[in-house]
Chains A and B, each alone.
Chain A
Amino acid sequence: MNPSPWIILFAPFISAVVIALLTEKFKKLSSYLSVAAVAISFVFSLAVFFGPDATEGFNWIDLGTFQVKIGYLINDLTRLMLLVVTGVGLLIHIFSIGYMSDDRGRSRYFCGLSLFMFSMLGIVLANNFIMMFMFWELVGFSSYLLIGHWFYRPAPPAAANKAFLANRIGDFGFMLGILLVWSASGTVTFDQLSGRWSTLGLSPGFMTAVALLIFCGAIGKSAQFPLHVWLPDAMEGPTPVSALIHAATMVAAGVFMLARTYFLFQPSATALGIVLWIGLITSLLAALMATQQDDIKRVLAYSTLSQLGLMFAAVGLGVPQAGMFHLFTHASFKALLFLGAGSVIHSLHHEQNIWQMGGLRKKMPVTFWTFFFGTLALIACPPFSGFWSKDEILAFSDRNISAFLAIAAVTFLTAFYMSRLFVVAFLGEPRSDLVDHAHESPGVMTIPLILLSIPACISGLPFIAPAFIKVPEHEGSPIGAFTVSLVAVAAGAASGYYLYKGKNKDSIDIPLFEHKFYIDEVYGGLIKWTQDLLANVSGFVDRWVIDGTLVRGLGGLTWGSGFALRFLQIGNLQAYAFLFGAGVVLLLYFILFGTK
């Protein structure tokens, strides 16, 4: 038995339990425990990275004919994801020590982070659908805890509820899909399914339906249209949480899950087409919304939605490897950008509006430069990491002209809104007193920034990336995609730079983008007119019709209302109960006696 995967999984779990039960009062100790746990997971992930494929498990439930297993599956996909999750996770844990240093709920925070690592690693290691689903739900729970960390403010609890419910809606489809997979094939284990699924002779419609139901889970977790609404609100959580959970790892779990269960999607061109277009629609909408946001974290949140959409588009194009490649590069540069934003926010006493910033270059040089590298990686400027992975997706879309154009448009928009963000927040003159008093963050925060900027710069390079992931080979010349990509980036970055250089307020005003296409408002109305209306009708019917008329009417008929009421008025329940008990005994006696 190979203990490494179990140690990777359970080290953070033990940390979470110990913090919750024992070290709540000792805040420093709690944070060190949490960091130590993820460090252990990281070290053993390295061991697994250089180790062989493996799978192993035990029966969690055993009903003879039906078993639920807890087990791990180690292959290339697992190895890459383990490294991303524990590596980025470790740096963000360390950053958190500095960022949360004056928070009174620090122990609770680190307990939540450890619980999250446990849940996320469970998804990565799972060798079957049911185990994946369990950790999938737990990830949603830890995300709920961390978004709602500042529960005594009005906005975070609302955002936490919204996130959990959006995820539950997605998981409704996910579980339904799992149930159908199981009832059709009799198994939920990935390596058994991958060989068997397409040989079962199932109808194409059924296979499409199953694939799409499973995809629902990914839509919820990865915040794709139409369940994307929770992610921007989730920015109410502490910024390192946004970096770890709502950018680098958890929201990428949907892409990972599709790569893991690609055998379900491969047989259905319809399902792949829908995955492609859900991804592209999300990507475009989110990029448009990002152009009009003033909150530094929200801009990054929309860019996360947009990049996740591109990863799904890659899966939809039939190259999940390209999606995973982008997940890999995105994890480091997006974590870097969020932590950079966190460093700024921390220094500006929780000011998040970019129009209150400006001129941070001299005040915070390390944050400035690392954020700059992160930006270049995100907008896909060669030779930074994001360029290679995004170019890969663009190249594979060359047979689908509309997808190609959509991705090119997203590339342009990304370069535009990121240069807007960078120009407004970091360049020019300080726009508020806060900036005058700003100072560079301590080493515990800047060192993770520097370490993250290394993979953000180089992890996509053709002589480095293959060490981590098999980059899919593309037939035909990539020159076309390369040129389009380069032009789009240059045009976007240049227009963003010149439009916003030296400005003190937004030079563009598009309310539709600013208000996120009014989707939240539409959903609010939908909930009010469907769920709440139905709930109120049910509540009313239950109280006044079923109970009020039928039950009371029946009660009156059966017992004779005067008779029953007289007892009530006397209030002599004891006598009543005695009579009732005696009646039952007599009834039993007579029926038995009479039938003999």
Chain B
Amino acid sequence: MSLLVHLIYLSPLVAGVGILLGLPARRTAAIAAVIALASALIVFLGYDRASSGYQFLSSLPLVTEWDLKFLVGVDGLSATLLLLTSIVALASVWLAPKVQEGENGYYACILFIAAGAAGAFASLDLFFFYAFHELALIPTFLMIGIWGSGNRQSAAWKITIYLSIGSIVLLVGLIGLYLLPSPAQRTFDIVKLQQLASTGAFSGPGSRSVYFLLLLGFGTLVSLFPFHTWAPQAYASAPVPVTMLHAGVLKKFGLYGLLRVALPLMPAAARSWAWLLLILLAGNILYVGLATIAQKQLDLTLAYSSVMHMGYIFLGIASYNVIGLNGAALLMFAHGLSIAALFAMSGELRKQTVTLNYLDLGGLATNMPTLSFVFGLATFASIGLPGFANFASELLVFFGAFKNSTPGAGFNEFQVVGTIALWGVVISAVYMLRAYRAIFMGERQARWQMVKDMPLSLGWTVMLLVAGLLIVGLVPRTVLDAVEPGIRLFVK
């Protein structure tokens, strides 16, 4: 079983190297992605939900002096995110276009991003947890710079500088974390670190500053307000597979880091910084939400909306109780699938119409019935319609925020921000319905006569994503029953 966990990140990694060495790009990539998805699915289903904790562990000691080793294993949360990674990776490989120049490099980069994300989710060692994420970031920068569209150089420059600074802040925080316990106890092993936490090793005076650094570092990677402005331009410029993988999967690394490392190790520090997180996430929801309404083309609307929706996940995290944290975890999965599906279809639209400007488009539903149907499903998923996973998660996030209150004692900060978040649901409906109407509804226009429905391959890909949203949305326990025991371990 632990071999399967290794396969999830190894098969894209090895395939990526193989493609660089000359293997046929598309076929190799597809096979690797299918192997990874099958492994991830078996791991997800095979994870024993009755006994919580990490399973399928395997380790390779590297530097015993520092207690640094290559330790891999999963719990319900990482198994869920590995499944998300493999689904989105397969989808993005599947619909990657024919590339004129450097096709092998293109596919290898996609696979490296997927491998890096999967490796970060599977690692239970701080060093590799961080290093795998870096492995995923570099091909992201490269792909935007080389195969991006529009002002790709400036977009690549911005995301590189921005996320690098975020990563360095995070790195300093992680090093601080490593140094917090007494020298004899220091370890990179996340499992051991979590056991150490209960002895109070991380409750010292430095823990507040370390948590602050982790919050800023992880937060920047997740586009926490006001460190979010790298996202819109990068997502609009990046090739579709990169946008899907980054917005859908890689961005979740920061949230995963908070849930895996920062919160369990330093609960007191997390609670003491909750006020700051609440203010910033309110910025994500209200301010970025309003900025989303002002966008006039689909790719920017989706990019901004993706920044906005991070606010809900942060709210679940800030609430720091079983309900909110489960909601956050479920929303990571739901948002990953829905935003990947939306960006995939927006890419197809751009391919056919060149423009994504609302004023230019209109009435496309007549020509593209299937695409507009699936796009509609993904639209309503993203604005939290019951039946989709996004609703179940947002519901939990709201109840999580309102859990932190005394009955009848008036609104505290959690309820104030919870109320703002609730209004955010109206805001998302405004911009998504406006976009849907502007693109697909209304009278058929002569200039879009030649537009065709989406090709079958794209159809199956987005159907896969939407089906995932529906299955988890109708039966949220598929994911929650796996995630909940792990969360209960560190939230009393």
Query: Chain B residues with Cβ under 8 A from A558's Cβ?
Result: 161, 165
A189 sits at the interface (CB 8 A): no
A7 sits at the interface (CB 8 A): no
Q: Is the CB of A542 within 8 A of B476?
A: no
Q: Point out which of A68, A154, A538 has the most chain B C-beta atoms below 10 A from its C-beta.
A: A538
Cα-based distance from A539 to B391 in the complex (angstroms) = 27
Q: Is the CB of A531 within 8 A of B293?
A: yes
Closest to B163 in A: A580
Q: How far is the CB of B154 from chain A (nearest CB, A)?
A: 8
Q: Is the CB of B157 within 8 A of A66?
A: no
Q: Is the CB of B477 within 8 A of A165?
A: no
Tell which of B366, B403, B434, B481 touches A183, judged by Cβ atoms closer than 8 Å: B403
Pick the interface stretch among B75-83, B137-145, B247-255, B331-339: B137-145
Closest to A578 in B: B138
Instruction: Other than A130-B395, A547-B229, A592-B175, give 6 A-B pairs with Cβ distance below 8 A.
Output: A60-B477, A62-B480, A63-B484, A141-B385, A164-B429, A203-B408
B287 sits at the interface (CB 8 A): yes
A151 sits at the interface (CB 8 A): yes
Q: Is the CB of B168 within 8 A of A551?
A: no
Interface of A is mostly: helix
Cβ proximity bits B409-446 to A, threshold 8 Å, 1 near / 0 not: 00000000011001101100110011001001111100
Tell which of B142, B162, B426, B430 touches A577, judged by Cβ atoms closer than 8 Å: B142
Q: Enumerate the 4 nearest inter-chain pairs by beta-carbon distance, A residue then B residue, closest first.
A: A539-B294, A535-B293, A547-B229, A157-B441
A266 sits at the interface (CB 8 A): no
Q: Point out which of B168, B442, B484 has the most chain A C-beta atoms below 10 A from its C-beta.
A: B442
Where the two chains meet, the residues of B that have a C-beta atom closer than 8 Å to any C-beta of A are: 66, 127, 134, 138, 141-142, 145-146, 153-154, 156-158, 160-162, 164-165, 167-168, 171, 175, 178-179, 226, 229-230, 287-288, 290-295, 322-323, 326, 363, 365-366, 380, 385-387, 391-392, 395-396, 398-399, 402-403, 405, 407-408, 418-419, 422-423, 425-426, 429-430, 433-434, 437, 440-444, 476-477, 480-481, 484, 488
A587 sits at the interface (CB 8 A): yes
Q: Point out which of B145, B153, B423 has the most chain A C-beta atoms below 10 A from its C-beta.
A: B145
Q: Is the CB of B146 within 8 A of A175?
A: no
Q: Is the CB of A137 within 8 A of B386?
A: yes
Q: Is the CB of A165 within 8 A of B480?
A: no
Cα-based distance from A151 to B439 in the complex (angstroms) = 11
Q: How far is the CB of B142 from chain A (nearest CB, A)?
A: 6
Q: Is the CB of B295 within 8 A of A539?
A: yes
Query: Chain A residues with Cβ under 8 A from B387's Cβ?
Result: 134, 138
Q: Is the CB of A568 within 8 A of B153?
A: yes
The range of chain A's interface size is 35 or more
Q: Is the CB of B385 within 8 A of A138?
A: yes
Q: Is the CB of B425 within 8 A of A535?
A: no
Closest to A180 in B: B402
Contact A148/B441 with A64-B484, A141-B380, A539-B291 known, Cβ cut-off 8 Å = yes
Tell which of A134, A179, A539, A591 touches B175, judged by Cβ atoms closer than 8 Å: A591
Closest to A185 in B: B407
Tell me the chain A residues, 562-596 only, with Cβ under 8 Å from chain B. Answer: 564, 568, 571, 573-574, 576-577, 580-581, 584, 587-588, 591-592, 595
Query: Chain A residues with Cβ under 8 A from B326's Cβ?
Result: 63
Where the two chains meet, the residues of A that have a C-beta atom closer than 8 Å to any C-beta of B are: 59-66, 68, 130, 133-135, 137-138, 141, 148, 151-154, 157-158, 160-161, 164-165, 168-169, 171-172, 175-176, 179-180, 182-185, 200, 202-203, 206, 531-532, 534-542, 546-547, 550-551, 555, 558-559, 564, 568, 571, 573-574, 576-577, 580-581, 584, 587-588, 591-592, 595
Cα-based distance from A542 to B363 in the complex (angstroms) = 31
Q: How far is the CB of A551 from chain B (nearest CB, A)?
A: 5
Contact A580/B138 with A63-B484, A157-B441, A546-B229 known, Cβ cut-off 8 Å = yes
Q: Is the CB of A573 within 8 A of B294?
A: no
Q: Is the CB of B294 within 8 A of A538?
A: yes
Q: Point out which of B229, B295, B365 has the most chain A C-beta atoms below 10 A from its C-beta.
A: B229
